[in-house]
Amino acid sequence: MESNAHRALKRLSRVYLRAVGCCAVAAEVQSPVPKHRVDAAGWSDGPPISDAARRRGAVRTPATYIIECKASRTDFLRDTRERDALLRRRASLETQRADLERSFIPEAEPHLLRGDGFLFADLESWDFASSRLPAYREVLRELARVDRAIYGDTKFCVLAAWRLADFLLIAAPRGLVHPSELPRGWGLLEFERGAIRGSEVEEGPAWRLRVEPEALQSPERRRVRLLRNIAVAGTRRAVTGRAPANH
């Protein structure tokens, strides 16, 4: 059964998405990959929230957002004595992944360079998810296995690896999640506990973006698919008051 805190985080996440410029938001949205449903999602054609994206000049480019809400430690991380070792293993794998993306894939698979027309090489983007390099695929498979061991699921890994939204965020009570525990590509959105309980926040905003998400530059077809699914979720809830069925 869904807890009151988790339900409140979903509501606050939708408020946040509206505040950062999303004109379409919904809860319980099917991701562009039908296996996964996300707690909240939004679509915006306004300025992106990421400084990195602003530097790329994507001032009015449509952007999609996915938020996963975590109300407790056990909701976020599996209770395992090997957690610290798994986090170290994941950090090592992320280093290997970054090395392959920086040094090997551009030379071995130059066709994966996306034609965004950037003047400077450091702003170029690559479709790494489509790489067929055996060493890279093995690192991704191992990362998925480690993610399952850490989080009990591969959703975080899948959503980031396939760039199913431009920005991925974990919403949690303040202090619940440490930045070092975040999955690759995900940002951290913290809400004040008073706001989650429904009481007034004494001073300052009800939330803070503690860790900016990576600007994943989701392919246009996935943006459109997520926008469609946001519309389905919002329409179903408006008409029936229930969460949408799987699509």
Q: Which pLDDT value is given to residue 247?
A: 42
β-bridge mates for residue 25, sequence order: 42
Tell me which amino acid residue 133 is: L
Q: Which pLDDT value is given to residue 202?
A: 56
Long-range contacts of 71-76 (CB under 8 A, 24+ apart): 71/3, 71/5, 71/6, 71/9, 71/172, 71/173, 71/196, 72/3, 72/5, 72/176, 73/176, 75/6, 76/151, 76/170, 76/172, 76/176, 76/177, 76/181
The predicted model scores a pTM of: 0.81
Q: Which pLDDT value is given to residue 55?
A: 54
The model's pLDDT over 132-162, given as tens digits with 9 standing for 90+, comes to: 999 999 999 999 899 999 998 889 988 998 8
Q: Which residues of the chain have a pLDDT value below 50?
A: 58, 117-123, 246-247
Q: Return the closest-CA partner of residue 247 out of 35, 101, 73.
A: 35
